[in-house]
Amino acid sequence: MSRAPSLRRGLLARLAIPLLALIVADAGLSYVFALRFANSAYDHWLIDSARSLAAQVKAEGGQATLRLPREALEVFEWDERDRIVYKVSSVTGELIIGQRSLAVPEPSRELQHPAFFEGEFEREPIRGVVIRAKPSGIREPIVIAVAETLHKRKSLAADILAIVLVPQVLLLLAAALLIWSGITAGLRSLVQVSLDLARKDHRDLSPVPMRDVPQEVQPIIARTNELFGRLEEALHAQRKFIADAAHQLRTPLSALKLQLESLERERLPEEIRGRIASLKNAGGRAIHLAQQLLTLARAEPEFDPQRSFADVDLVSVARDTGERWIPKALEAGVELVLDAPDSPVRLTGDPTLLSELVSNLIDNALRHGRDTRTITVRISGTPRPSLAVEDAGPGIPPQAKDRVFDRFYRADAGSGEGTGLGLAIVKEIVSAHGGTVSIETRPQFAGTRVLAVFPAVAPTVRRER
Amino acid sequence: MRLLLVEDDPDLADGLAAALGRAGFSVDRVADGKSATDALEAQPYDLMLLDLGLPRMDGFEVLRSARARKLTVPVLILTARDALEDRVHGLDLGADDYLTKPFELAELEARARALIRRSAGNPAPDVRVGELTIDIKTRTARHRGEPVNLSPRDFAVLEILAAKPGHVVAKDRLVNSISTWDKDFSENSAEVYVHRLRKKLGPLGIEIVTMRGFGYLIRVAPQ
């Protein structure tokens, strides 16, 4: 999963990388401008300082001299953060006062016109100004330079840079957050779609609802729904084929059965009679299997069993169906008992399928409840309509319990009888009626008990039809 | 008894014709709906066995046209379709009975005879349970020719139980049928009378089995 491209990460990367580059470029540019701004602010002070120094230069015997009291010098040189150095010299380079080691470039030819310079003083970068002045009474002009280290300037530039950059970074973060949450919100409808898909069982091929799905995703869902539609058709055709095939088998199987039955009535040698009996047995099983396949196909959702639903009395279905099994039960030495309330137990269903349900449960109990003396069909109307068929047979092994409702699964595979479809049909019929089916066996129940519980009838809804 | 068999599956038609022939019917066979209509036109039959899925004209159509021409021949539908609506549709169109394939030969014969008997106006022949013969008209019962001593209520109970030997009769049906002419007959007295009848028939090798929740069933007692 983590290797798959992520919409969120992809979009964020596409946005964040260029934006980040832009911010870096912008920061560089801003810093240059900020430094220029800081320079122009502090350069004024440098000029002022140079000019006020120039004003203090006096002529003494034709010689330019500068005498400053110690306090004044201290005030001049004092600065909170930067070191300030000066140098006053003659045009020919003779030092009058100040730092001899301060390297000063050639000043402008024009008097009082400042020329700025950058350099190093005692291994620290500095910026300074140099002017040419001609105090009154002096023949030759003098050169005055004032320079300072760059701490104030850099810190101002850094402050300006921060003021510009912080909002930009905040903007980038906000954009990333908005994109992340925007995509998350956009994907939420996809989560709904995936929940809709997850909730489907393997037979539900109805289209996924398109509501609230973003336009961009709609084509995917539309194609998925189309695929569902085609699958549904194919499945339907396949099940219809099974129903048709089972149906078509009936006539030839009838012919087979009939011929064998009339053959049985002939005078025949004992050996041939035995063979006819086993042919008849095989024919009977084929007929039973075809019938079971047909019933199964009819109970499946594709056949839409609900269209033939009506108001049914479970007690009369169980009584009518049970009656048909009495001769067979008596023949097997089993007492078939109906335990039902005197009043009808109503439910909404298909009487033919419900009758098949009862038949299959009794058939199953007769086949597998070996040595049981009784089989009880128990109907109850409370709290919900239910039907149970119980035998006192050997029960089913625990490992088979979860599988008995599977198609073609037979707990006692060796016995040769039965189609393995009986309980699958039971499950299908019960679920077509919106009910649930469960099985209890030894040791919890003394034998085997299959219980089908149906939803209670909503009495008013049915009348509308 | 002349019987028209309308069935397009040759194997099934062969088998049916042979079996019914042996059972004493004289059988005419046709394999499509059009020929069936023609055959009904040509001569009267005591019974028609009619398949529904037929070439040229389906079974429902044959039935409709026969009834439209006021032919009263009893019709027993034999079909692979067992959907309820098909069955109802067939009976609505005037079929008398309905058997779903595959069926038991014995059941087909019994139903065929019952239909012919009914259409001949003789719905209730003597009923037999083992060696017990029940004469509905004279309301007497005989065992190996010897009369069995039964009260009218005993006989009424026996008559209802013996109408379908080997099949269960619900208790409320028993009570309902008898209480129409015998107001004193109730659910409790049903048990009393069944018990009395059981005692009278037991020595004759006939038993009345109580099927809990279902009702009563009369049969020859197993040896």
CA distance A301 to B127: 47
Band of pLDDT at residue B120, cut at 50, 70 and 90: confident
User: Does residue A383 have a cis peptide bond before it, meaning omega lies within 30 degrees of 0?
Assistant: yes
- The percent of residues in chain B predicted with pLDDT above 70, rounded, is 94
Give the dihedral sign, CA A355/A358/A359/A360.
Answer: positive
Give the contacts of A188 (CB within 8 A, at least 6 positions apart).
none
CA distance B126 to chain A (A): 23
pLDDT digits (tens, 9 = 90+) for B34-61: 999 999 988 889 999 999 888 888 888 9
* Average pLDDT in chain A: 84
CA distance A248 to chain B (A): 8
pLDDT of residue A322: 92
pLDDT higher than threshold 50 for residue A460: no
Can you tell me the mean pLDDT for A427-444?
89
Identify the CA nearest to A338 among candidates A380, A396, A385. A380
Residue B19: closest C-alpha in chain A: A262
pLDDT higher than threshold 60 for residue A2: no
In terms of pLDDT, which residue wins out, A190 or A120? A120
Q: What are the C-alpha distances in Å from A130 to residues A59, A136, A157, A176, B64?
A: 20, 19, 23, 51, 129
Interface test with B, best of A249, A257, A258 (most B CBs within 10 A): A258
pLDDT of residue B47: 92
Facing residue for B102 by CB, picked from A287, A330, A377: A287
pLDDT higher than threshold 60 for residue A463: no
pLDDT higher than threshold 70 for residue B122: no
**A97-113 CB burial, b ≥16 within 10 A, e <16:** bbeeebebeebeeeebe
pLDDT of residue A417: 64
pLDDT higher than threshold 80 for residue B187: no
> What radius of gyration, in Å, describes the C-alpha atoms of chain B?
21
- The percent of residues in chain B predicted with pLDDT above 90, rounded, is 10
Backbone angles phi, psi at A370, to 5 degrees: -45, 145
Give the torsion through C-alpha atoms of A323, A457, A435, A235, to 10 deg: 100
Can you tell me the mean pLDDT for A138-145?
85
pLDDT higher than threshold 90 for residue A106: no
CA distance A261 to chain B (A): 7
pLDDT digits (tens, 9 = 90+) for A247-306: 788 888 888 888 888 888 888 888 888 888 888 888 888 888 888 888 888 787 767 778
- Please report how many Cα atoms fall inside a 13 Å half-sphere around the Cα of residue A161, on the Cβ side: 21
Facing residue for B80 by CB, picked from A250, A323, A326: A250
Q: Which of A221-224's residues contact partners 24+ apart within 8 Å by CB, and which partners?
A: A221/A193
Residues in chain B within 8 Å Cβ distance of A265: 22
Band of pLDDT at residue A413, cut at 50, 70 and 90: low
Q: What's the helix, strand, coil split of chain B in %, to 5?
A: 45, 25, 35
pLDDT higher than threshold 60 for residue A459: no
pLDDT digits (tens, 9 = 90+) for A143-184: 999 999 999 888 888 888 888 888 888 988 888 888 888 888
pLDDT of residue A265: 80
Band of pLDDT at residue A414, cut at 50, 70 and 90: low
| Range in A1-15, A163-177, A310-324 the model is least confident about | A1-15
Size of interface A-B (CB pairs under 8 A): 88
Can you tell me the mean pLDDT for A67-82?
78
Q: Which two tokens stand for residue A10?
A: 């992809």
Residues in chain A within 8 Å Cβ distance of B209: 330
Residue B112 · residue B25 · CB < 8 Å: yes
pLDDT of residue A465: 36
Give the dihedral sign, CA A225/A228/A234/A235.
Answer: negative
Query: Could you report the predicted ipTM of this complex, rounded to two decimals?
Result: 0.71
Interface residues on A facing B, Cβ-Cβ cutoff 8 A: 247-248, 250-259, 261-262, 265, 287, 308, 319, 322-323, 326-327, 330, 335-340, 351-352, 377
pLDDT higher than threshold 80 for residue A77: no
CA distance B99 to A332: 26
In terms of pLDDT, which residue wins out, B35 or A418? B35
CA distance B172 to A316: 12
Backbone angles phi, psi at A332, to 5 degrees: -85, 0
pTM of this structure: 0.60
* β-sheet with B75-79: strand ranges across: B26-30, B2-6, B47-51, B75-79, B97-100
Residues in chain A within 8 Å Cβ distance of B86: none
